Amino acid sequence: MGETGRVAAGKGHAFSASPVLESRLPAWRSRLLLLVLFAAFATLAGRAVWLQLWSDEFLQKQGAARYARTLELPATRGRILDRNGEVLALSLPARAVWAIPAEARGAQPAQLDELARQLGLSRAEIDARLDSRRGFVYLKRQVDLATAGRVQALGIAGIHTHKESRRHYPHGALTAHVVGFNDVEDQGQEGIKLAHQASLGGTAGSRRVIRDRLGRIAEDAGGRLPARDGRDLALAIDGRIQHAARSHLKAAVERHQAAAGAIVVLDVGSGEVLALANLPDYDPNERKGLTGAQLRNRALTDIYEPGSVIKPFTIALALEKGLATPDTLVETAPGRLTIGRATIRDASRHDTLTVAEVLQKSSNVGTVKLALQMPAQDMWSMLMQVGFGQPPQLGFPGTAASSQRPHRSWKPIEQATISYGHGMATSLMQMAQSYLVFARDGDMVPLSLLKVDEPPAARPVLSSASAAAVRAMMERATWPGGTAPRARVPGYRVAGKTSTAHKPVGGRYTKRYIAGFVGLAPVSRPRIIVAVMIDEPTEGGYFGGRVAAPVFASVVQDALRTLDVAPDAPVEDILRAPIEAADEDALAPAAAEKQSTM
């Protein structure tokens, strides 16, 4: 039977005419479905054409987002050097140890115990960090290379290292308050490191790479931007003088059982800070358990009543205005002077003194009598011109300005007390800076913590005659009968002024003291200024001439020899200086320095 004649089994119908094959849907619906499918495929084809021809940049970005990465190329941080090229701070290669907690938790207990031991952590600290749900945790930063190698040798799954650097300070605490330190991210936090973060830190570079699905670098994608390393920084600090200054300061603080101390050494010609030290201090390589007292840069941030070291400025102004000469007589008897309801006293009665002797013997009464002959505005202007009332322009974080009230508010008793350094407050650095006017024959230069290549421009303040006259008077303070024979240095003529200031607490003076001395050397041609402050000495006296002046003498002796400065004292003074200095207690008792507490 032919194909057209086939019939459905048992029904007698032709196969093509079977009711089962009969379509019950309208023909337009199948055509509509076909049209929709065709439109969908046409849209996809059009989208593909559009992406390939007009959206290539978009596709490139999408691919880069999945496989391309920008890696940071760290810059090498600049070194910090002293003026002679000695390294004070540099970066050493190190490793950061990190973990993928989900992988590392499966390590054997013995492996984790050894990991903790190598990193200097407790097992509990390791467990706590690996208990994190995060995909990445640091176990320890800035690990030295040898330790990092031993950690990797443990072969613990999920424990990794990557490169970084750590800052190292070869001289430890020697220049801690000048240099400062960095945090774990290598950013400056204190001192020069903070002040010059931008130039020391440099600028990080970048590198574009393509990673495979396992995160490994497959190829370089170009676009490499090299890092710009930080610049080396040369400080004005002389490491040799810094060592001498800190050593002698530390010996004095320990000998007198003092709470703290600070010292500053300036170069007279350039205004450079050759040494700056504070105690207590710290080792920036080991900063665990640091206290605020250790971090305080007292020479720059702490202000206090300077006391008698202000007297030379009062006398200089009297000379400048023609009110007195070094030989002018001043009546100081009976050793006290009443102004209103307050009485100013000298510790010892001196009767009639010359102006030079007023400074030599540190007479409060004589100084006040000179001060009250001058307008308050002139005294205020003098103090402002030598740097009081404004912070030294050192670009150093935390530098304090002195506390100086406007002259319009001065009452006679305030003008009187300011003339000998009470009723005002200043920092040790400002005291050292102000004495430049006497060391430089009447002019001043700005201070600098950075090495200076060319001498800065000077600013006149006093006549050279007035400055030289006050310098000669201050030299007499170190002679027999003066307040500072212990400041004498064999072979060199020195000049300076002592200070013994009461510390006010709660608005009242207490029996706690700050002993100070500011001086210059050699007198014939000043090269350095040294300012010393000893806070709350409790053993062996508390007067500036007894506590601070010997520190000045020791530092000056070491510094002038280091700088190869020729001696300027007569030979007979060199031979007898130690004997006269030893006899001065009988000639100038310590009580002669005591300041009025009113």
Residue 48 lies in a domain: no
Residue 168 lies in a domain: yes
pLDDT digits (tens, 9 = 90+) for 126-172: 888 888 877 788 899 888 999 999 999 998 888 888 888 888 999 99
pLDDT digits (tens, 9 = 90+) for 286-339: 888 888 889 889 999 999 999 999 999 999 999 999 999 999 999 999 999 999
CA atoms of 269 and 273, how far apart (whole Å) = 11
Residues 228 and 324 in one domain: no
pLDDT digits (tens, 9 = 90+) for 57-81: 766 666 666 566 666 667 778 899 9
Residues 230 and 249 in one domain: no
Q: If you search the block for the tokens 């607490």, which residue do you land on?
A: 505
Q: What is the three-class DSSP state of 480?
A: coil
Residues 252 and 174 in one domain: no
Residue 246 lies in a domain: yes
* DSSP letter assigned to residue 535: E
Position 219 confidence tier, pLDDT thresholds 50, 70, 90:
low
Identify the pLDDT of residue 183.
76
Overall number of domains in the chain = 3
Give the CATH number, domain containing residue 206. Answer: 3.90.1310.10
Residues 179 and 147 in one domain: no
pLDDT digits (tens, 9 = 90+) for 177-193: 999 887 777 777 888 88
Residue 39 lies in a domain: no
Identify the pLDDT of residue 344.
92
> Can you give the pTM of this predicted structure?
0.80
Q: Which residues pair with 535 in a beta bridge?
A: 260, 514
Between strands 233-234 and 80-81, the pairing is: parallel
Q: Which of 165, 308, 363, 402 is catalytic?
A: 308
Write out the E strands in 318-373. Answer: 329-331, 336-339, 342-345, 352-354
Q: What is the three-class DSSP state of 569?
A: coil
Does residue 308 have an active-site annotation?
A: yes
Residues 177 and 266 in one domain: no
Residue 16 lies in a domain: no
Q: Range of 350's domain? A: 239-282+296-593
Residues 568 and 444 in one domain: yes
Residue 384 lies in a domain: yes
Residues 223 and 258 in one domain: no
Position 529 confidence tier, pLDDT thresholds 50, 70, 90:
very high
Residue 36 lies in a domain: no
Identify the pLDDT of residue 19.
64
Residues 111 and 256 in one domain: no
Residues 317 and 209 in one domain: no
CA atoms of 446 and 437, how far apart (whole Å) = 11
CA atoms of 59 and 70, how far apart (whole Å) = 18
Residues 371 and 466 in one domain: yes
Residues 357 and 426 in one domain: yes
Residue 56 lies in a domain: no
Q: What is the mean pLDDT of the chain?
A: 85
Residues 274 and 304 in one domain: yes
Q: Which amino acid is at 194?
A: L
CA atoms of 296 and 298, how far apart (whole Å) = 5
Q: What are the CA-CA distances from residue 416 to residues 246, 339, 365, 383, 422 (Å)?
A: 36, 9, 9, 14, 9
Give the CATH number, domain containing residue 363. Answer: 3.40.710.10
Share of the chain above pLDDT 90, in %: 50
Cβ atoms of 443 and 429 within 8 Å: the answer is no
Cβ atoms of 466 and 320 within 8 Å: the answer is yes
